[in-house]
């Protein structure tokens, strides 16, 4: 049950950030086996004063086209699965939306299954 947060600079196309979200969801389905209908996203657009990034950290040239993606998900994926996810997202965003791969910033936050409540005040995955 991933929850995805996507942050971008305000885009003149009102459908842009939702299309970014679609690419991320399809990438999660193919790369880390997220099931159908398991799509929860918070999509944010920011003006130039409210999205801060370093344009050269680690020698990667970033632009205002940066897409910051944070995915909170259950722990347990392998390094190879994570690498496949990063590559699939970056490739998909470049192909579908023309996002420079240098502008795709992804962070995973892994949590134990008992740290989720999907509603009703119940930890559905707690054992």
Catalytic center residues: 2
Q: Within 10 Å of residue 2's Cβ, how many Cβ atoms?
A: 18
In the DSSP assignment, the letter for residue 92 is H
Task: Give the span between the Cα atoms of 66 and 121, in whole angstroms.
Answer: 36
Helices (H), the chain: 16-32, 79-97
Of 66, 77, 67, the closest CA to residue 109 belongs to 77
- CA gap 72, 107 in Å, rounded: 9
């Amino acid at each position: 049950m991933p929850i995805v947060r996507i942050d971008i600079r305000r885009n003149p196309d009102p459908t842009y950030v939702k299309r970014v979200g679609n690419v991320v969801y399809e990438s999660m389905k193919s790369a880390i086996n997220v099931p159908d209908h398991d799509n929860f996203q918070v999509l944010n657009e920011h003006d130039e004063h409210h999205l801060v990034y370093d344009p050269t950290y680690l020698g990667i040239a970033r632009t205002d086209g940066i897409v910051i993606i944070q995915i909170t998900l259950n722990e347990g994926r392998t390094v190879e699965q994570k690498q496949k996810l990063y590559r699939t997202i970056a490739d998909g965003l470049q192909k579908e939306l023309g996002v420079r791969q240098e502008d795709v910033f992804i962070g995973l936050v892994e949590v134990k299954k008992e740290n989720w409540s999907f509603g009703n005040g119940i930890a559905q995955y707690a054992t």
